[in-house]
Amino acid sequence: MGVLVVGLALGGAMYFQLEKRVTLVVDGSPQVVRTFDATVADVLADAGISLGVHDEVSPAPEASVTEGLEIEVLLGKKITLVLNGTRREVWVTGG
């Protein structure tokens, strides 16, 4: 019984050491998430965020996840500009 208690205590301690709390900010809206993921790309995938060619993320998707990390995602949005009667579509990012 004593070995089981020690095993559970060590397992619980390892759980809290491996788990990281990070802040995921998507277009200015922050959300604290708990994760065991190793990379920013993994955190985004678990959050259901797939990056498009016009989206921006910082730090880079291949960056390692550490306790307290803030991941900022700016989703690309296509807008239409009209200047002097000429329409033009451009991509912008921001919250």
pLDDT digits 0-9 by tens, 26-63: 999 999 999 999 999 999 999 999 999 999 999 999 99
pLDDT at 8 exceeding the cut of 70: no
Could you tell me the pTM of the whole model? Answer: 0.76
Residue type, 36: F
* 55, 46 Cβ separation under 8 angstroms: no
pLDDT of residue 18: 80
* Burial (CB count <10 Å: 0-12, 13-18, 19+), residue 40: buried
Q: Which of 81, 64, 66, 59 is nearest to 20 (CA)?
A: 66
